[in-house]
Structures are given as structure tokens and as C-alpha cells.
Structure 1
């Protein structure tokens, strides 16, 4: 599989869009029932400037029940109480507000003018002539993309790996040569670093990560110009807004990547970094639906942790409307949170 391929999994409670680039997932977009559509990337509003903070060149903008942050230049400072037409330029993340950019002046109370593009529209923007594939194949691709996005350590083509670990301050990417083969050490380390930049760029887009990114490269005596060229090519799709620094004296390369969508970890995980009850519940609902397609007409029994069963409750009625009321979800306190079983008794 080569080029860009688009997939859309329309599920109960959650829809997922995937962009594959040369067979590898590069983007995973997730929308869930109950998400606040007001702060989705691309939504447009009439906002009212609630408070201006000149020291930080920022203003708090009321979008109508939810706030966003507006950065401004010294010559374009807004006025408190002013109405502006704004667009969401980055979604909220990890307790931080969404950010907006100004479209122009506006009148009236804060309100939503136009929603964010749909998942299908967002996917089409990545590859306008590509067909969007749905159904069973899309679900399998979305499951695989989600699993990869949640991993920390990722293999590099040709050997070695990278570990991607977000912190409060930055995203650290450690490059490990592993058992990458070759007699010329300089050539082996150069190939590993170039592969790490290419894979790291794809994986950061897949995970929805940005901000300050630091690559801890392998080897010594790096060809700084070659690495800078490779980094610019790898992160080209993230422009505008990418800034890449030279290789430092300690063998690190620093860059800033624009944040636009919420990190997938914010969507899929709880505050402790574990998959949330909702994520596990939606996974369970998909498994029941899939088994129902494999066993048409059969009665099904799903066993899962009580917390997951409770989170799945609101979606069970929707599933029954789709495959029939021929399944039960049984809480089993002895099961680990991330385990479940679906079978025909």
C-alpha cells in the first residue's frame, strides 16, 4: 500500500478517522458523542474579549460558556468587551485552554457561527482525490493506529528504536541504535538518526503531540547540515510554525512543532495515564458489535470489569438498536480493567 489512504470507522459513541501514509498510520482523528464541539479545531465563533493580559500578550475570550486564549501583537491589542470573529486554532489539552485566531470584527453576543469540519471533511483535506474507506477494514485500521499511538517504544526500519515520552515541559525522543547492523559505525548511526527523524515526525502527528520536541541522537560528530535538511523534510507537513534548531554540543536536536489537536493520550487515557473507563467501554461495544456480525442471530455474553460495564451502559441501548437485544454485559470484579471476553454462551 503506497500513497495516502483514508479510513473512517463510524462507531457507536465514537468515530475514528485514519490517514495511512505508505501503509503506516500518520493521523488518527477521534470524535466522541458528548465532545464539546465549540472547541474543535476550525470551529468559528463570535467571541467577546473578557480580559486582556498585556504582560503576556494574551487575552481571554468568552465563546459562550467556554473560554479560549488569544495571543496578540503589540500593535493589535484587543479591548476588553470587544466582539471578534475568531476560529479555533488549537484544541484544549491537559487542562489548558483552546487558542483562537482573529478573523475580523463582529457584533452581538458570543455564539458558534460554524462548526468544525466533520471527520470526513478533515480526512478529505489530507488527500482530496482519495476515496474514504469505511466498514470492517476501517475498524481494523483504526484499532491498529490506536494501538500504535499508545505505545512508547517504536521500532525503526533497519533496526533500533525510538522512545517518545511527553513531559509537562517538552516531548523527549530517545534514539537507540539497538542491533542495527553494519560495520561502518558512522554510516549506521547516521542512518538511525535519519530514520528516527522521519519516524518521529510521523508518530508525533499520529499521537497529536507538539510543542518543544527534543531528539537525543545517537553517535558523535554529527553532520548538522544533513540532519537539519532531514528534519525540515520530515516535519514539512506540520508547517506553518515549525522551528528547528541545530544539533547541540550534547548530541540533541531541539525544535518546536505547532499544537493543533488534543493529544490522543488526553482523549484515550485518564489522569494516571491508563486507558479510561470510557475508552475501554467503547472498545467493548465495538467487540460485541464485531462478534455479532460474525455470529448473526446468536446470543452473546460480554464479561468485563464493573467500572467498564457501567461506562458501557449508555451505549448498550444504541448497540441493541443496531444488532438487536441479543447480548448481555456482565460485570466481573475479578477481571482486570483492560480485559474483557465476548462469546456466544
Structure 2
């Protein structure tokens, strides 16, 4: 596998961009047709100050698409009145059912409206991996599915260095536990350092892949670690995010750092409140699985995706976009989230 591979999957209803480095997925960017263009990272709009909240040191801004409104942080000298028109840019996409975080560009006039959408997936990939041509078709679909599985996982096990990593997000912070399983015949001290280095690299990769930010606490292997050595490891691991803020290493082997929020977390995009795949995600997955079958076997005249009626209703117009070789069958006996691709009789 090449050091850097880029994939672009344009399935009806959703576009995914994937970047893999040395066989590991680092980026999974998802944009859906149902997204509000004004909420995408980098989108510029004219907004109207709908409400000022001094306690939050910010204002809620109507971007013309309804609630939830965007949130505009205010400086000490910023005192816009309600109804003020401002030009803003999305600095962080919506998360936790809240609107996007905005950056003020200047004054504006007229009704709230979109001035320029944020970059599409292809443009984002060209910035993250300049000069690398994205793979499409079957390879891109498989990469998109594998990257999703990786993004939703909470652990990494690397037997080569004895690494056992767990990552979890709570309302307050993100916890990363880097653990080590010693092996007979290995230098435990040297292997511990390697496991810490690899653990920090995997933590940085997973945080980017998942789209998580905020306060991160990393529990490293061992106590009384050499602070300068660990800090060099951490800075190298998070070199791709220049706005990372590092805290000191505690005597208990805990490191704190902060990452900016930018994109809607993938777990919020793909899962519902109970941690199961959401209806829209399930419906688009049906279309993606059907498209994979069509591209993998161009000789078969027609394929049909069999799924539960609820998902079929949402997937139907997307399946039509695949052309006459693709069909859909609503089957009440199918479990929610299940899909079976069949050759049409």
C-alpha cells in the first residue's frame, strides 16, 4: 500500500472522502445532500443577530435556515444589538444538537442568506493530500466502509509493541488509556516507551478520524516518565493539528491537551442517541451496498436491495439515481439496519 491513499465515494445522498496513511485511516469526511449548506465548515453567510447572551459572552445568529442558530463568540468590546447584520464564516460545524460556531468577518446588510458554501469533499481532499488523485468506484466504497468501522471503534491493539489503547468521549472530556502487555523476552522499559509513542500516534489519528475535539486526558504507561521525551512524542503525534494546546505531564503519567472542534463528530452523524445506526445512515448504507454490488458485477442485469420498510422509504429516491440495474424491496420481516443484496429474478 502507498504511504498516502485517497478515496472519493460519491454515493447518492452522501459523499465520503477518505485518507489513509501507511495503511491506517486518518480522515473520513462525510457530506450529505440533506446537510444545511450554511452549516458546513468554511461556509460564509450574512446573518442576523437574533439574541445576545452576555452570560455566554456570545450571540446567536440567524443564518436564514432556521434553528438551531449559529453561535458567535464575542470579545469584551463587541456589543452588537439584536437585529444587527453580520458577515460570518463557520469555524466549527454543529454538534450535540447545537448550531455551528461562527467567526465574524465584518458588517453586512440585507436578509440572512448564504454567500458561499464551504468546500466540497473533493476540495477538502486536495488540501489534505495535495497532488494525490482520489480512487473512486469499488475501492472507494470499500475504503469508506472500513474507515467508518475504524472511526466507530474504541480500541486499538498492536501486538508488535504490546499496545492496548482505549478511547472514550464523555460530556466533559475525552479519555485515552494507553496500556501495555509485556511479552516474554522483551525489554519492558524499552517496549513501554515504544508503546507510549505508538499510543500517542494512534490517539492523534483516532481523534482526527472521529472528528473529536475539546479537553483530552491521556493516561500513559508508567509513572515518573521523562517529561521532555513524552512531550516530544506528543508534539510529533499531533503535528498535523497546529492549534493543539499541551498541558504538563503529571507525576502520575497523565497528559492533558486541547484540540479545536471543527467537524460534526462522526458518531453523531452515523449513530442515534442510543448508539445505534440512525435511520438516514441506514438508508444511505443500503444504497452504498447496492452500488457496490452493481460496480463489482457489471455482468448481472439487475440487483435488488431487500431491507425493512422504514429504511426503504427513505432509500427509494436514492436507489432510483443508481439507474435501472438497481432496485429496492421493502420486506417487513427484515430487521432494522439489515440489508440483503440479491440478483433480481
- TM-score, normalization by structure 1: 0.91
Alpha-carbon distance between aligned partners in 2 of 1:180 and 1:144, rounded to the nearest angstrom? 30
Q: Deviations over 1:158-198 (max 9, x none)?
A: 33221111111111111121355654322222211111111
Q: 1:220 to 1:63 in 2, by over 3 A?
A: same
Q: SS at the partner of 2:199? A: helix
The DSSP-based 3-state class of the residue aligned with 1:55 is helix
Q: Is the 8 A contact 2:90 2:100 kept in 1?
A: yes
Distance change >3 Å, CA 94–CA 140, structure 1 → 2: same
Mapping 1:169-248, distance limit 5 Å: 169-178=172-181, 183-240=186-243, 242-248=244-250
Q: Structure 2: how far apart are the matches of 1:50 and 1:249?
A: 48
Corresponding residue number in structure 1 for 2:254: 252
Residue 7 of structure 1 corresponds to which residue in structure 2? 7
Once the two structures are TM-superposed, the CA of residue 88 in structure 1 deviates from its matched residue by 0.1
- Give the Cα separation in 2 of the matches to 1:178 and 1:336: 39
SS of alignment partner, residue 181 of structure 2: coil
Q: Which residue number corresponds to residue 339 of structure 1? A: 338
For residues 8 and 282 of structure 1, the distance between their equivalents in structure 2, rounded to whole angstroms, comes to 16
Mapped contact 2:46–2:111 kept (Cα < 8 A): yes
> What is the number of residues matched between the two proteins?
340
SS at match of 2:8: strand
Task: Compare 173-182 and 99-108 and name the one that shifted more.
Answer: 173-182
**Which contiguous aligned blocks of 4+ residues in structure 1 show a shift greater than 4 angstroms?**
179-182
**Whole-angstrom CA distance in 2 between matches of 1:325 and 1:126:** 35
Question: Counterparts of 1:124 and 1:131 in 2: how far apart (Å)?
Answer: 8
Check the 8 A contact 1:303/1:332 in 2, yes or no: no
* Aligned-residue offset at 1:199: 0.7
Q: Partner of 2:38: helix, strand, or coil?
A: helix
**Aligned residue for 2:283?**
281
2:305 corresponds in structure 1 to 302
Contact map agreement 2:279 2:311 (CA 8 A) in 1:
yes
| Two-structure CA RMSD over aligned residues (Å) | 2.0
Q: Which runs of 5+ in 1 are unaligned?
A: none
Unpaired runs of 5+ in structure 2? none
Aligned partners of 1:205, 1:282: CA distance in 2, in Å?
Answer: 23
Q: How much has 1:268 moved relative to structure 2?
A: 0.7
The residue aligned with 1:34 is 34
Contact 1:4 1:19 in 2 (8 A): yes
| 8 Å contact kept, 2:28–2:147 | yes
Within a 5 Å distance, the mapping from 1:97-112 to structure 2 comes to: 97-112=99-114
Secondary structure in 2 aligned to 1:48?
strand
Once the two structures are overlaid, the 10-residue window that deviates more, 129-138 or 190-199, is 129-138
Q: How many angstroms apart in 1 are the aligned matches of 2:148 and 2:182? A: 27
- For residues 7 and 326 of structure 1, the distance between their equivalents in structure 2, rounded to whole angstroms, comes to 23
Q: 1:330 to 1:56 in 2, by over 3 A?
A: closer
Q: Distance in 2 between matches of 1:284 and 1:88?
A: 31
Q: Write the distance in 2 (CA, Å) between the matches of 1:132 and 1:45.
A: 30
- In the alignment, the residues of structure 2 paired with residue 326 and residue 162 of structure 1 have an alpha-carbon distance, to the nearest angstrom, of 42
Retained in 2: the 8 A contact 1:170–1:212?
yes
